[in-house]
Structure 1
C-alpha cells in the first residue's frame, strides 16, 4: 500500500489550521494521530478544547500506557509510538517516525522560512519513497 501525503502550505497559524483538518478527519471516521513537538503540544491541546464552542474534539496527549478510546485524537511527539496506522497529521519539522507506514499523512507547513525548507525536504523524502503526493494552499 502506498501512503497518500497531502501538504498544506502557507498556513498563517499551523496549529489552528490543524484543528480544521482534525475535525474533518474525525468526520471521516479514521483513527487520527498528531505528531507535535512538546513545545507546541500544550497550545494545540488548548486549541482543540476551544476551537469550536459547539463541538468537542476528543483528544489527549498519549503516553502509550492507556488504550485509546474510539474516535480519540492522540497527540504524540513520535508518530512511531501511535497504536494505529490510519491518519497522521504532522506538525513537526522532522520526518515523522513510521510515516510511510500510515494510510494517510497530512503535513501542515507554516510561513516561516525554516519551516518551509523543512517541509520541502520532507516532500522530497516522500517523493523518493513513491508516496502519492498532493498540495493545497492553507492561506485561503
Structure 2
C-alpha cells in the first residue's frame, strides 16, 4: 500500500513543528522516524525533544543507537542512509518525517510521510520538486499552511 503524504508549508520554525507533530504522533501510539538534513541538525532535534514540553517525555534515540528498534521515535541523518546487509534502512515503517531537501529512500515502506518545509525560499524549490515526484508516483498528497494552521 502506498503511503499518504502530507506537506506542512510556510513553517516558521521547522524543528519546533517537528517536535510538536512527533509529540502528537507518539501520544497517539505511532512510531516515527525523523529524517534530518545532516548529523548536526539531528543532534539539535535530539536536544529539543528532551526540552520541548517540560512535563512530557518523548522517548527517542538517534538511528545509530542499539535501542533504535525498540524506541518509538528515531532521529536519522540524510547522510546515514546505508543499511547493513539484510537489515532494513529504517527501524519503523509507520510514519516518516522528512526535513531533508531530497526524497527519502525507502519512503514507500511507510504508511505516512510528513514533509516539513520552512518559509525560506531556498527550501521551497526542493519541496516543490518532492511534491512533483510524489504526485508523479500517484501518491495521495495533502498540503497545510503550518503558520496559519489550515489545509490548503
The answer for the alignment partner of 1:95 in structure 2 is 103
The 5-angstrom pairing of residues 12-91 of structure 1 reads: 12-37=12-37, 38-63=39-64, 65-70=66-71, 72-78=72-78, 81-91=89-99
1:81-120 deviations in Å (ceiling 9; x for gaps): 2122110000101111111221100000001111111111
Q: Displacement of 1:36 after TM fit? A: 0.7
Moved >3 Å (runs of 4+): 64-67
* Cα separation, 1, equivalents of 2:45 and 2:136: 31
What SS does structure 2 have at the residue aligned with 1:81? coil
For 1:84 and 1:46, how far apart are their aligned partners in 2? 21
Give the whole-Å Cα distance in 2 for the aligned partners of 1:74 and 1:83: 8
The offset of 1:64, in angstroms, is 6.2
Q: CA deviation at 1:21?
A: 0.7
Normalised by the length of structure 2, the TM-score is: 0.85
Which structure has the highest helix share of the two? 1
Residue segments in structure 1 that go unaligned for 5+ positions in a row: none
User: Matched residues in 1 for 2:92 and 2:17: separation?
Assistant: 23
What is the CA RMSD across the aligned residues, in angstroms? Answer: 1.6
Instruction: Count the aligned residue pairs.
Output: 139
